[in-house]
Amino acid sequence: MSKDSKLPQDEKIKKAFEPKNWNEIRSNDSWAIFKIMSEFVNGYESLSRIGPCVSIFGSARTQADNKFYELAQNIAFRLTQKGYGVITGGGPGIMEAANKGAQRGGGISVGLNIELPFEQQPNAHIDHDKNLNFDYFFVRKVMFVKYSQGFIVMPGGFGTLDELFEAITLIQTFKIGRFPIVLVSHDFWDGLIDWVKNVLLEREKNISPENLDLFKIVDTAEEAVEVIDAFYNRYMLKPNF
């Protein structure tokens, strides 16, 4: 983790406005570029052989006695029984549950951990050779998208929303293939999707009607896995390649 990331918020703001000479700017930016490159290289080398995987997103704050923790674990287990590996953000909560389910199912369990000044530590259910640490969110998100053949989005906070809309945007703009996106829990997601329909689509015309077909909402582990499996069965693909 960089020194600046550990500074208090007001110190970060002050530091951003400090005058710098050209040598300082060039030196700092050059080292940042090398650090970014090293994270990309390490990610590509580590993940290029993991096989077909599904990313499971969700809150780091979800406790083990929460119904969504158990649901995420069940979904991950069922995915492994269909031959898919599981990729998570590597931390606690929903991520831990998904890695635990993948491990219990004997499948691939990947963790893409982000180094934060608080809360996030790698959970104990990630394959030892597939536990990666990142300092840059954008590098980590590239890894999620590049090595996932589907996305399952559990209830979560701002980070989960960021990952969801990143996937939708890349599919909408044809930057990646139209991989399945599954939102879990009507009770959690319906309010957001109603706003997307009523405001983004109908009132402001900021999206197209077909964009609403880029994701599906389900309530059970069976439904979530069926959406993923049905998508690949339609293309006569099986997760053994």
**73 to each of 78, 81, 97, 157, how far by Cα in Å?**
9, 13, 5, 19
Whether residue 97 is predicted with pLDDT greater than 80 in this model: the reply is yes
- Give 169 or 232, the one with higher predicted confidence: 169
Residue 37 — very low, low, confident or very high, per pLDDT cuts 50/70/90?
very high
Question: In this structure, which amino acid lies at residue 111?
Answer: G
**With b meaning 16 or more CB within 10 Å and e meaning fewer, what string describes 170-203?**
ebbeeeeeebbbbbbbeebbeeeeeebeeeebee
**Span 26-44, mean pLDDT?**
86
Residues 6+ apart with CB under 8 A from 116: 1, 5
Whether residue 10 is predicted with pLDDT greater than 80 in this model: the reply is no
Q: Global pTM?
A: 0.86
**Span 173-196, mean pLDDT?**
96
Inter-axis angle of helices 94-104 and 67-81, to 10 degrees? 40
Helix ranges, 82-125 (H): 94-104
The whole-angstrom distance between residue 21's C-alpha and the CA centroid of its chain comes to: 38
- The pLDDT score that the predictor gives to residue 236 is 54
- DSSP class of residue 71? H
Q: Are strands 53-57 and 151-153 parallel, antiparallel or unpaired?
A: parallel
Residue 25 — very low, low, confident or very high, per pLDDT cuts 50/70/90?
low
Average pLDDT, the chain: 90
Query: Sheet harboring 181-184: ordered strands across?
Result: 131-134, 109-114, 85-88, 53-57, 151-153, 181-184, 216-218
Question: What confidence tens digit (pLDDT) does each residue in 200-241 have?
Answer: 999 999 999 999 999 999 999 999 999 999 998 876 555 543
- The pLDDT score that the predictor gives to residue 240 is 45
**Span 64-93, mean pLDDT?**
97
- The pLDDT score that the predictor gives to residue 239 is 53
Q: What span, in angstroms and rounded, lies between the C-alpha atoms of 23 and 207?
A: 45
- The pLDDT score that the predictor gives to residue 124 is 95
Whether residue 161 is predicted with pLDDT greater than 90 in this model: the reply is yes
* % pLDDT > 90, the chain: 76
Any idea which of 4-13, 39-48, 178-187 has the lowest mean pLDDT?
Answer: 4-13
- Give 17 or 139, the one with higher predicted confidence: 139
- Give 234 or 45, the one with higher predicted confidence: 45
- Give 6 or 49, the one with higher predicted confidence: 49
Query: Residue ranges per domain, the chain?
Result: 37-234
Question: In angstroms, how far is the first alpha carbon of the chain from the final one?
Answer: 36
- The pLDDT score that the predictor gives to residue 241 is 38
Give backbone dihedrals phi and psi of 122, rounded to 5 degrees, phi first: -60, 135
Q: Which fold has domain 37-234?
A: Rossmann fold (3.40.50)
